[in-house]
């Protein structure tokens, strides 16, 4: 993205007077990127996330063992034991290989939640904000109800109702995570709704559905993206928490939270079984926090000035 | 949380009622609607769950006849909405039903488990506030300095650490290896039953009854989980304090005060901090509410007999009366705390009026 | 705010005053027994209703039965307790008990035949889950007035619907449901005709050595001596059972001396305690079996050759020597060792060649999808993952369906599973308790809903000959013949049934070195605190 930028493109992006809307928008993003690049911590976060993605994609090639292959004779061996970089777990499976394959699950969960929850929030928030009246009252009351719920318990209840598993965990997390997005989207919609350009579009005969989808949604997206990045760490931690309670990914799947849960039994004598996946979760959610912090500094100057 | 316009004022026909009464009625109506919705959602989740509550009662060996008898006793043969109606009317009379798992009335169970969570969350918040506020203020005053950087790193680590993992590690190190604190549970086993529960808050009860050994035991049990929760709450409180303080310190009156020759201490604590107290209070209320509901995993790791582990184990045993009762209690407290902080904000902060 | 500030100050003061905050090694008082155990399954103490492991542990120490086991000589079988003697009529249908004198309830009243009559009738009339242990002898709520009768204060007469082996009847009376409660006390607390059920759920009124003083669900049970207990005064005057979920925590508490006995240690934690001179580990064979069973409604699994292949493809020794080490022993028949007629033969072993050969002979040489239902307990998930691993090598697509206990059980009872991985513990110490569920299914139709029978749950139409043998063994009064009948039954069952019985439980109780006579109850009964000394 950065290194391949040709001089011509760079000049186009940094043009003082953009000639099209697309160029203006691209230029704004590019300038944001330049600012973000100056933020060391955010770049570290980004680097970790890229590394995670690479690991997830190349897991089958990077792994030294089959993540599911058991060897009951070689169980609970310490890190470094005969080619097991991080040792083996209680069924003699290679922890390093499981960790790599687990990265896929974490990424999968994060991507799915990042798609579902903001989409749901966006839909509810913009409809409430644009329609107003009793629809607004009703939808916002619903939002309040979901906000008042103990979140982990709500997610637990959903998973218990839907059955344990990754997809259901994603759905449960999304169902508990949407209310803040709905509030943001509604607030943005309220300001956009009464702006001149929307009035103009309305006069041209555009229907509400078209206005919301074509003109309101694109403007809400940037604030949602920042919020989602900041929430990512929380999503990973919640997913791991569900896995820890046995309600997320199911065995023998190498989900990190589930790996900690399996390893806690051996904590006293075989510390690495639970510690290594714990460090993995910590690293990834720290990376998301660093990146999210940087993004907020760039795109929300008011907050960052504080 | 109630900054949205509440339900349309229900008292239009009597316009002469004072404004605050109408406002109060509106707030109450919206709280009631929220709580009813909360109840409804939990109830429905409980009923669509693919777990059979009857089996939770009668166990593995029961015959079909015993099964059907219990099915009727639990009222499961009635239509869903009728069951919900009966449940709500029972709740309004203060009857939360009987727990399948413990065989005791849910209200009695809650009265036993809630103080444990309350004690833990309160101590956790205290730790978080006592450490977080000075840290946040210092970070704002020496912005960009080492205190600020440290606070930022400590906060980021707190936001990124899986609490159940940190809890396990804490137990391993401070209890298993170093032996500085006591292990899971609320109190040492011999002190079990020594302290007579009056408030249900073990530390307070032990102190009031002069049971020093029991107090020490309880304190050494609570210090690790409370410290853990306190850490998470500190990360949040210090971050918010910092940003509030920065806003104040860049305000004109601060410059004026400095020009007038007031000492830095007076400027920071006497002027800037005074002005963020109300904002800070709402943040603390929110942090507190978060700990009350967010201590589920901590309670499980530390075998803390609080409401989080109560709801979770009940849920896994499909003991829906307990889950409903617990959720309603936690939800109510959450809503009330939000309203309280909102009202505080409105009454105490002149700019918000 | 002021009060709170004072409180904090006090807390901080205490904190600094007691610098190393942890209690330096504590020792439990000499007359008190402190036990860590998982007791979250306790729902009730009422003997007519209680049917859980931890509940049975309490009940055995609180309620006496007509006949019972001596904890220091479990192999001797049942002996007199409240009944000092009994005789059986010539037609084998009437048993008359002579009630001993001098036994007193914790309320101070003396135990009479009226209390025994009341307690047994009550269990039948309340018709709670364990009532089948009594009603299988033909007692019904309608006929108890005639069949369970105290003819005077010292004589109790039971009339059965047909002659049964006497040992079978008396073994059943040693179960929790045979516990004798104080009639006057129970009826004094009666609500809406519940015969004191609501009160007895949380309170006890028995003549055993202890009485329950306090019970906090999921936290602890506290028992003190029954002041009127007739026997020798037990050394332990107070028993505390604390609910500790985690094995690692139990281990730490034990090695610090905070508890006397830890009852749920994992093999790793037991191994970690081996070098601790203050701790000893006592192994005891229990009655619980670990098995998998194949639903015969599934076309793949109803092929006997497929089931045979799966039995060969189970790594019995691999599991027993690794994550189950010391806690389960390989056992492949439906009667646990130490039971009358238990069979020690192990015809199945881990042999992938035989497994492949069997599968090749079946109608499904490529195997197919198999879902294993398993509840969310680590030990069982480990076993399920091992089965998944070895069965997959046959070419089967094995998926684990992990659920809570209630979820998995629900599917099992509805016959919706493919393979169920489960545990089974005997309900009463007589071979019929397992024979009657593993090898008996009089009606395999869905409508029959015989959900209590494992054979029915797996839709296994037990061959008529096996059903008859199971019933015949119950009425055989010659013990040697009876034993031979069960051995024959099990050999056939091992061969043809869709049950892959794998392991029998060994309970490893770790305790402080000074604790003596801690008996968890073997395969037949529950724990006995009154003989413990330290």
Nearest 5°: phi and psi at C371?
A: -105, 130
Comparing C-alpha atoms, which of C531, C375, C526, C532 is closest to residue C68? C526
| Cα of B48 to nearest chain A Cα, Å | 6
Q: CB within 8 A of C464, min separation 6: which ones?
A: none
Kindly state the tokens that stand for B267: 């400027």
- Per-residue pLDDT at C20: 40
- Search chain A and give the residue with CA nearest C317: A72
**In this structure, is the dihedral angle defined by the CA atoms of residues C292, C295, C298 and C301, taken in order, positive or negative?**
positive
Alpha-carbon distance C418 to C299, whole Å?
10
- Per-residue pLDDT at A20: 75
Alpha-carbon distance C300 to B175, whole Å?
52
- Per-residue pLDDT at A202: 83
Q: HSE of C302 in the Cβ direction (CA atoms, 13 Å)?
A: 10
DSSP state string for A141-161: HHHHHHHHS-HHHHHHHHHHH
**In this structure, is the dihedral angle defined by the CA atoms of residues C182, C188, C191 and C193, taken in order, positive or negative?**
positive
Contact A263, A274 (CB under 8 A): yes
b/e burial code for range C430-453 (CB count within 10 A of at least 16 → b): bbbbbbbbbbbbeebeeeebbbbb
| ipTM > 0.85 (yes/no) | no
Contact C374, C390 (CB under 8 A): no
Contacts of C40 in chain B (CB under 8 A): 101, 313
- Per-residue pLDDT at B11: 41
DSSP state string for C418-471: SEEEEEE--SSSSTHHHHHHHS--S--SGGG--TT-HHHHTT----HHHHHHHH
Alpha-carbon distance A61 to A58, whole Å?
5
Alpha-carbon distance A120 to A174, whole Å?
8
- Per-residue pLDDT at C335: 96
Alpha-carbon distance A286 to A304, whole Å?
19
- Chain C from 250 to 289: CB within 8 A of any B CB: 252-253, 256, 258-259
Residue A70, chain C, CB below 8 Å: the answer is yes
**In this structure, is the dihedral angle defined by the CA atoms of residues C317, C320, C322 and C326, taken in order, positive or negative?**
negative
Alpha-carbon distance C505 to C328, whole Å?
5
Suggest the residue from A66, A67, A70 to mutate for an interface test with chain C (most C CBs closer than 10 A). Answer: A70
Taking an 8 Å cut-off on Cβ atoms, the answer to whether B243 and A303 are in contact is yes
Give the model confidence (pLDDT) of B143-174 as tens digits. Answer: 888 998 888 888 888 888 888 889 888 988 88
Comparing C-alpha atoms, which of C425, C436, C424 is closest to residue C168? C436
Give the model confidence (pLDDT) of B4-32 as tens digits. Answer: 333 333 444 445 567 777 777 877 787 78
- Chain C from 357 to 376: CB within 8 A of any B CB: 376
Give the model confidence (pLDDT) of A118-140 as tens digits. Answer: 999 999 999 998 888 889 888 98
b/e burial code for range B311-337 (CB count within 10 A of at least 16 → b): bbbbbbbbbbbbbbbbbbbbbbbbbeb
Segment-wise mean pLDDT, segments of 10 residues, chain B, 353 residues: 38 56 77 81 74 71 78 81 86 84 86 92 94 93 88 88 88 84 80 76 86 88 94 91 88 84 85 85 85 82 88 80 85 80 69 49
- Per-residue pLDDT at C324: 94
Taking an 8 Å cut-off on Cβ atoms, the answer to whether B42 and A286 are in contact is no
- Search chain C and give the residue with CA nearest B101: C43
Identify the CATH number of the domain defined by range B106-352.
1.10.3720.10
- Per-residue pLDDT at C22: 45
Alpha-carbon distance B321 to B103, whole Å?
11
| Cα B163 to Cα B302, C213, C501, distances in angstroms | 12, 37, 40
Contact A73, C320 (CB under 8 A): no
Comparing C-alpha atoms, which of C138, C167, C143, C144 is closest to residue C156? C144
Nearest 5°: phi and psi at C349?
A: -145, 170
**In this structure, is the dihedral angle defined by the CA atoms of residues C54, C59, C60 and C61, taken in order, positive or negative?**
positive
| Cα of A62 to nearest chain C Cα, Å | 23
The maximal CA–CA distance of chain A, rounded, in angstroms, is: 76
- Per-residue pLDDT at A145: 80
Whether A7 shows a pLDDT value over 70: the answer reads: no
| Cα B251 to Cα A103, B139, B349, B350, distances in angstroms | 47, 17, 17, 17
Comparing C-alpha atoms, which of C504, C526, C528 is closest to residue C517? C528
Domain positions in chain B: 19-92, 106-352
Contacts of C401 in chain A (CB under 8 A): 250
Whether A81 shows a pLDDT value over 60: the answer reads: yes
The single-letter DSSP state of residue C480 is H
Nearest 5°: phi and psi at C281?
A: -115, 125
**In this structure, is the dihedral angle defined by the CA atoms of residues B65, B70, B73 and B79, taken in order, positive or negative?**
negative
Suggest the residue from A109, A133, A143, A145 to mutate for an interface test with chain B (most B CBs closer than 10 A). Answer: A145
Kindly state the tokens that stand for A181: 């997005």
- Per-residue pLDDT at B319: 80
**DSSP strand E in A1-52: where?**
none
Please list the ranges in chain C whose pLDDT falls under 50: 1-25
SS3 C277: coil
Start-to-end Cα distance in chain A: 31
Give the model confidence (pLDDT) of C102-127 as tens digits. Answer: 999 999 999 999 999 999 999 999 99
Percent of chain B topping pLDDT 90: 14
| Cα B323 to Cα A157, B38, B46, B320, C391, distances in angstroms | 9, 12, 8, 5, 39
- Per-residue pLDDT at B350: 57
Of C220, C258, C404, the CB nearest to B51: C404
b/e burial code for range A134-162 (CB count within 10 A of at least 16 → b): eebbebbbbbbbbbbbbbbbbbbbbbbbb
Contact A243, A255 (CB under 8 A): yes
Of A144, A264, A286, the CB nearest to B156: A286
Taking an 8 Å cut-off on Cβ atoms, the answer to whether B300 and A293 are in contact is no
Degrees to nearest 5, angle at CA B271 with B265 and B272: 90
Residues linked to residue C33 through DSSP beta bridges, in sequence order: C239
- Per-residue pLDDT at A304: 42
Give the model confidence (pLDDT) of B192-216 as tens digits. Answer: 767 777 788 888 888 888 888 889 8
| Cα of B206 to nearest chain A Cα, Å | 31
The single-letter DSSP state of residue A250 is P
- Search chain B and give the residue with CA nearest C252: B176
Give the model confidence (pLDDT) of C275-325 as tens digits. Answer: 899 999 999 999 999 999 999 999 999 999 999 999 999 999 999 999 999
Contact C175, C27 (CB under 8 A): no
- Per-residue pLDDT at B312: 84
How would you list the strands of the sheet with C94-99, edge to edge? C83-88, C94-99, C155-159, C148-152
- Per-residue pLDDT at B349: 61
Residue with tokens 């024979």: C435
**Higher pLDDT among residues B27 and A167, named by residue:** A167
Give the model confidence (pLDDT) of A33-49 as tens digits. Answer: 888 888 888 899 999 99
């Amino acid at each position: 993205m950065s290194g391949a930028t040709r001089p011509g493109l760079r000049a186009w992006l940094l043009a003082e007077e953009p000639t099209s809307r697309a160029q203006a928008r691209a230029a704004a993003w590019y300038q944001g990127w330049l600012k973000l690049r100056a933020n060391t911590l955010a770049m570290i976060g980004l680097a970790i996330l890229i590394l995670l993605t690479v690991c997830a994609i190349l897991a089958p090639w990077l792994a030294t063992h089959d993540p599911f292959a058991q060897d009951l004779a070689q169980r609970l061996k310490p890190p470094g034991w005969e080619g097991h970089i991080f040792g083996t777990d209680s069924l003699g499976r290679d922890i390093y290989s499981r960790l790599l394959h687990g990265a896929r699950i974490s990424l999968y969960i994060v991507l799915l939640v990042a798609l579902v929850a903001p989409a749901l929030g966006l839909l509810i928030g913009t409809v409430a904000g644009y329609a107003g009246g009793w629809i607004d009252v009703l939808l916002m009351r619903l939002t309040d109800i979901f906000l008042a719920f103990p979140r982990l318990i709500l997610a637990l209840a959903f998973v218990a109702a839907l059955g344990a598993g990754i997809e259901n965990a994603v759905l449960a997390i999304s169902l508990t995570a949407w209310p803040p997005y709905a509030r943001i989207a509604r607030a943005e919609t309220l300001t956009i709704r009464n702006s001149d350009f929307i009035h103009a579009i309305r006069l041209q005969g555009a229907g509400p559905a078209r206005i919301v989808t074509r003109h309101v949604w694109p403007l809400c997206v940037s604030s949602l993206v920042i919020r989602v990045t900041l929430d990512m760490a929380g999503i990973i931690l919640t997913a791991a928490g569900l896995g820890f309670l046995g309600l997320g990914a199911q065995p023998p799947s190498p989900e990190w939270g589930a790996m900690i849960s399996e390893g806690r039994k051996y904590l006293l004598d075989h510390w690495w079984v639970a510690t290594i996946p714990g460090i993995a979760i910590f690293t990834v959610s720290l990376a998301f926090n660093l990146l999210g912090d940087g993004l907020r500094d760039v795109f929300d100057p008011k907050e960052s000035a504080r | 949380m109630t900054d949205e316009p509440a339900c349309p004022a229900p008292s239009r026909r009597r316009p002469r009622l004072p404004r605050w009464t109408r406002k109060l009625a509106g707030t109450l109506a919206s709280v009631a609607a929220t709580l009813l919705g909360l109840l409804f959602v939990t109830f429905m989740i409980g009923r669509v769950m693919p777990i059979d509550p009857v089996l939770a009662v009668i166990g593995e060996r029961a015959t079909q006849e015993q099964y059907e008898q219990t099915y009727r006793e639990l009222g499961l043969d009635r239509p869903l909405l009728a069951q919900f109606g009966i449940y709500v009317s029972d709740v309004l009379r203060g009857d939360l039903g009987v727990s399948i798992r413990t065989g005791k009335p849910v209200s009695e169970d809650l009265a036993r488990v809630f103080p444990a969570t309350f004690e833990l969350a309160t101590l956790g918040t205290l730790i978080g506030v006592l450490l977080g506020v000075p840290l946040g203020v210092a970070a704002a005053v020496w912005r960009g300095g080492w205190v600020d950087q440290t606070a930022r790193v400590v906060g980021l680590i707190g936001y990124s650490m899986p609490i159940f993992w940190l809890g396990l590690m804490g137990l391993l190190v401070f209890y298993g290896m170093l032996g500085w604190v006591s292990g899971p549970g609320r109190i040492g086993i011999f002190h079990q039953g020594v302290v007579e529960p009056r408030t249900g808050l073990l530390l307070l009860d032990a102190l009031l009854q002069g049971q020093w050994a029991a107090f020490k035991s309880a304190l050494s049990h609570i210090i690790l989980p409370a410290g853990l929760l306190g850490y998470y709450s500190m990360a949040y409180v210090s971050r918010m304090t910092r940003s509030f303080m920065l806003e104040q310190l860049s305000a004109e009156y601060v410059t004026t005060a400095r020009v007038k020759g007031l000492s830095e201490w007076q400027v920071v604590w006497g002027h800037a901090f005074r002005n963020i107290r109300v904002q800070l209070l709402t943040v603390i209320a929110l942090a507190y509410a978060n700990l009350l509901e967010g201590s589920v995993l901590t309670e499980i790791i530390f075998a803390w007999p609080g409401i989080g582990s109560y709801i979770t184990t009940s849920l896994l045993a499909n003991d829906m009366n307990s889950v409903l009762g617990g959720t309603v209690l936690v939800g109510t407290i959450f809503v009330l705390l939000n309203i309280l902080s909102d009202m505080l904000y409105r009454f105490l902060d002149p700019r918000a009026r | 705010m002021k009060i709170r500030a004072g409180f904090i100050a006090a807390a901080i003061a205490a904190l600094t005053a007691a610098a190393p905050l942890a209690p330096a090694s504590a020792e439990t008082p000499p007359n008190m027994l402190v036990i860590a155990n998982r007791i979250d399954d306790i729902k009730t103490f009422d003997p007519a209703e209680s049917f859980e492991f931890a509940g049975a542990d309490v009940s055995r120490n609180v309620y006496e039965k007509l006949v019972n086991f001596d904890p220091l000589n479990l192999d001797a079988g049942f002996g007199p307790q409240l009944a000092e003697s009994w005789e059986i009529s010539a037609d084998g249908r009437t048993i008359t008990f002579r009630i001993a004198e001098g036994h007193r309830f914790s309320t101070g009243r003396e135990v009479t035949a009226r209390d025994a009559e009341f307690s047994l009738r009550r269990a039948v009339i309340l018709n709670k889950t364990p009532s089948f242990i009594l009603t299988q002898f033909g007692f019904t709520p309608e006929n108890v007035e005639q069949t369970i009768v105290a003819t005077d204060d010292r004589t109790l007469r039971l009339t059965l619907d047909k002659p049964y082996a006497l040992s079978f009847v008396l073994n059943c009376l040693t179960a929790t449901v045979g516990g004798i409660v104080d009639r006057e006390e129970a009826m004094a607390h009666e609500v809406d005709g519940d015969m004191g059920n609501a009160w007895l759920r949380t309170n006890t009124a028995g003549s055993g050595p202890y009485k329950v003083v306090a019970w906090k669900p999921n936290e602890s049970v506290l028992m003190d001596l029954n002041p009127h207990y007739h026997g020798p005064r037990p050394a332990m005057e107070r028993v505390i059972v604390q609910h500790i979920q985690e094995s690692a925590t139990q281990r730490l508490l034990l090695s610090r001396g905070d508890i006397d006995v830890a009852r749920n240690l994992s093999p790793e934690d037991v191994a970690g305690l081996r070098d601790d001179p203050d701790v000893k580990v006592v192994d005891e064979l229990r009655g619980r079996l670990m098995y998998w069973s194949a639903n015969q409604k599934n076309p793949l699994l109803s092929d006997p050759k497929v089931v045979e292949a799966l039995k060969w493809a189970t790594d019995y020794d691999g599991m027993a020597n690794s994550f189950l080490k010391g806690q389960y022993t390989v056992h492949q028949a439906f009667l646990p060792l130490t039971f009358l007629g238990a069979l020690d033969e192990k015809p199945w072993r881990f042999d992938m060649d035989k497994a492949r050969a069997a599968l090749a002979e079946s109608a499904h040489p490529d195997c197919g999808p198999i879902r294993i239902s398993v509840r969310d307990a680590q030990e069982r998930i480990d076993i399920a993952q091992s089965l998944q691993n070895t069965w997959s090598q046959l070419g089967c697509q094995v998926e684990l369906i992990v659920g809570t206990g209630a979820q998995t059980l629900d599917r099992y009872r509805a016959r919706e599973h493919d393979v169920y991985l489960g545990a089974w513990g005997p309900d009463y110490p007589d071979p019929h308790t397992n024979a009657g569920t593993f090898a008996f299914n009089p009606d395999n139709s869905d409508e029959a809903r015989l959900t209590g029978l494992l054979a029915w749950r797996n839709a296994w139409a037990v061959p008529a000959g096996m059903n008859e043998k199971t019933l015949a063994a119950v009425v055989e009064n010659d013990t040697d013949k009876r034993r031979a009948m069960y051995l024959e039954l099990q050999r056939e069952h091992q061969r043809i049934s869709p049950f892959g019985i794998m392991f029998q439980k060994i309970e490893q109780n770790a305790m402080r070195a000074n604790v003596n006579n801690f008996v968890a109850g073997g395969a037949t009964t529950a724990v006995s605190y009154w003989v413990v000394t330290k």
